[in-house]
Amino acid sequence: MIQRRAGFLVTAAFFVALLAAGVIYDDLSARNGAGVYDQVRLLNEVVDQVSEKYVDRLDRDELYVRAIKGLVESLDPYSEFLTRDQYSDLKIHTTGNYQGLGISIDIRDDVLTVVAPIEGTPAYDAGVYPGDRIVEVDGASTHGWTSEKAVNELRGPAGSSVVLTVVREGLSEPLQFRIRRKNIDIPSVPYAFMIRDGIGYIRFSQFSERGAREVQSAVERLRKDGMRSLILDVQRNPGGLLDQAIDVTDLFLDRGEVILTTRGRVSEQNRKYYAHDDVNYGSFPIVILVDEGTASASEILAGALQDHDRALILGRQTFGKGLVQSLFPLEGSEAALKLTTARYYTPSGRNIQKEEIRSAVFDLVDEEEPPMREARREEGKVPDSLVFKTDMGREVYGGGGITPDLVVEDTLSTVGRELVWDLRAKNVYFDYAVRYRAAHEKLPKDWRPSAAEEASFRAYLRDREVIFAEEEYQAERDFVLNSLRFEVVEQYHGKGAAVKAALDADPALSAAIGLLEQGETLREVFQLAQARSDAQEEQALTKPPVDQAAMQPPPAGEARAR
């Protein structure tokens, strides 16, 4: 989570540059002590030796950048020296705006591939499809390009044009698109709709500058459509701006309620933030969906609403990032420093920083306290120091992220799990959906694969050399077909329509709908969730322990929007 700073910071980078230019004189040692001068001189000497004698030729300026990066990155996993390009990329994520074409891209099978065009952007309007393989950009082959190279070539000033040559499934000849770049807005709320009678659903994907406005707009629209309860989905939401975390949380709390507290070495970092907005959606039940990709600003939102009993948290344990970074543009350069400057605490006093991330500068947790999840497994209980109380007296826990009020893990069987992960890792659903669209011009939003289409998909699996036993397929047949349905519907109608069409592909979302259909008030929803949680614990006592590491799917690459 990033706190924006208006001022500038002069770091060691500036002093190193001055030294290299012969500007730092002997009086530096008089002002700051001989030790500082000696260390700067030592760094300069090391750079000289490496620059002149290393086996491969290295750029001297790049060596200084590496030295600075090494200094900052040794502090903790989140502090970072940002080069011009990295700083520019960060600003895109925090502002939600850039100049380009409006497509998500990825390198798949060594080919630059369109994952999805963003609706309403130049690429979408030009007719670029998911699955299109970009083989040339302005006549230059994309063979061997990295994602970073592709980003640099596809971005450009608004009004400028670029020619894409693409290979499309089902066509014998490449297509060419001349596309004029525009300002692209990346929505924080990519879609929101009524998912059941009276139940609204908002997908909240990032805390950019317009995050609070977009959430508020979505809530207002859903209320006009008859919303009586809300599912707020922050699964895989990595966070963003601190002020947006505060403003979004503020929408759902009463004036004067604490949102979070920050504490740091510098006095200005010691602050308590309160709800103050006159807008208050405090009357309807809310379920917040979380998972291991829910981090930082998302955890502030989930933690505050959990502590004030304003929302039920459902899903899997969140990431566990309880630190705040401040952003300092560096004077005289286009670089910036992202520096950890504070810890944050939820209203009940929890710090949810995960135990395993430590720092030489920050003592993030008490060394003597085991992390919450380890304590539960090894001792059968949570240490008293990690137990906190909500406004209603419910127990919540610090350390290791936000623990959901109701844990909903994936429902994959032991027999079929590896097949499901294999299909996901090989992008089989996506590739089949691309092929399907090439052969079918239209598709209804409520499409379900027929028996013939299922047989066609299974034949495609054999063509892709996906090896599986019939027992594996039958064990996860419903999940596989729901995942296929999701991907095919998304090809034609976008991700929002796909979520609505294939609800069973997300067990957490299905569980949230079930609770809100049964409970009319938030208190009733809490009671239903507690009953289900108690039943899960009772069932777990009769089963052997599960290897949680084996439960996690292999990592997947992320597409980048350009």
User: Active-site positions?
Assistant: 296, 307, 321
Q: How far is CA 286 from CA 40, 231, 263, 303, 370, in A?
A: 55, 6, 29, 13, 32
Helix (H, G, I), strand (E, B) or coil at 66: helix
What is the Cα–Cα distance from 189 to 248, expressed in whole angstroms?
12
Beta strands in 188-335 (DSSP E): 191-196, 199-203, 229-233, 258-263, 271-274, 286-290, 312-315, 323-329
Burial class (CB in 10 A: 0-12, 13-18, 19+), 198: middle
Answer for the pair 248, 274: CB distance below 8 angstroms, yes or no.
no
What is the Cα–Cα distance from 506 to 314, expressed in whole angstroms?
12
Beta strands in 92-144 (DSSP E): 97-100, 103-108, 111-117, 133-137, 140-141
Beta strands in 142-285 (DSSP E): 161-167, 175-180, 182-185, 191-196, 199-203, 229-233, 258-263, 271-274
Structure tokens at 120: 């309403």
CA dihedral 61, 64, 69, 71 (to 10 degrees): -170
What is the Cα–Cα distance from 136 to 127, expressed in whole angstroms?
17
